[in-house]
Amino acid sequence: MTKAIVAKNVTKKFKLYNTQSERLKDLLLPKSFGEEFYALRDVSFEAEKGDIIGLVGVNGSGKSTLSNIISGIVPETSGEISINGETAIIDVSAGLNNKLTGRENIELKCLMLGFNRKEIKNMEQDIIDFAELDKFIDQPVKSYSKGMKSRLGFAINVSIDPDILIVDEALSVGDKAFAKKSLEKMKEFKERGKTMFFVSHSIAQMKEFCNKIMWLEFGEKKAYGEMEDVLGDYEAFLKEYNKWSKKKRKAFRQKGFERQSKVKELV
């Protein structure tokens, strides 16, 4: 089996500041200010080429942070991740320049990936048609709705035909017809043996697509394995979690926050 990704102890720390002045002092003074916070901690896993991996976990568990590290948008603080191939992330908020028009964004992204002008011209109309943006393509992206941004992001990223595709919640903001079309495109990627990471709160979509699931909790890998096994456990957890009182859920989040704020090694 060919490894698409090997991740060893991938960790991402952020600093949390109580005030703006604390943030400034941390930037300007030699003494350290603020509190360290682990968005991801010691996450290790291997993905084979052709794996479709669903990332699950309640809000704030680290799914987007891991996606962004795999795609190279943010660097890991420590640990190692080796990626075999080109990655593209489809995220509603990441990767598009708001000041540029849709068309300029297409050109910029393709140029950055090494396509020449002629190749870009050939891809451009397909991207515009897939995104269904018509005349809006020459308007600045800042005037687009969330759904329009997501459609453009999706269309660009699938057109560049990456080896590893990361779809982060992109399907949840578009309309039903676009989500259907996008799912078809993802199926085509799957059939062609591409590796995919899929972040979605839809268990049904996870079941349809993924062969493996990674369950993250408070930035740590709670489980990783065959879809049926891990998703079954996660569904059982969610069923309980959704029954909890507000107070119990708050206590759960607080416990997680304390764990993620611990700088010393966990015992």
Ligand X SMILES: Nc1ncnc2c1ncn2[C@@H]1O[C@H](COP(=O)(O)OP(=O)(O)OP(=O)(O)O)[C@@H](O)[C@H]1O
Return the number of the residue (63 or 109) whose C-beta is nearest ligand X: 63
Residue type, 74: V
Question: Is 87 a binder of ligand X (CB under 6 A)?
Answer: no
Span from 43-51, 62-70, 184-192, 202-210 in contact with ligand X (CB under 6 A) = 62-70
Measure the CA angle with vertex 146, ends 142 and 147; round to 5°. 125
Residues 41-60 interacting with ligand X (rule: CB under 6 A)? 57, 59-60
Encoded tokens for 33: 């200010």
**What span, in angstroms and rounded, lies between the C-alpha atoms of 38 and 42?**
10
Measure the CA angle with vertex 170, ends 210 and 160; round to 5°. 85
| CA-based nearest residue to 206, from 178, 226, 177 | 226
**What span, in angstroms and rounded, lies between the C-alpha atoms of 152 and 144?**
10
The binding track of 5-24 with respect to ligand X, each residue x by CB under 6 A or -, is: ---------x----------
- The least CB distance from residue 70 to ligand X, in Å, is 12
The binding track of 226-245 with respect to ligand X, each residue x by CB under 6 A or -, is: --------------------
Encoded tokens for 227: 């879809």
Question: Is 194 a binder of ligand X (CB under 6 A)?
Answer: no
Tell which one of 41, 43, 64, 178 touches ligand X (CB under 6 A).
64
Tell which one of 43, 51, 54, 63 touches ligand X (CB under 6 A).
63
- The least CB distance from residue 109 to ligand X, in Å, is 22
Write out the DSSP string of 210-244. -SEEEEEETTEEEEEEEHHHHHHHHHHHHHHHTTS
Question: Is 61 a binder of ligand X (CB under 6 A)?
Answer: yes
Return residues touching ligand X (CB under 6 A). Answer: 14, 39, 57, 59-65
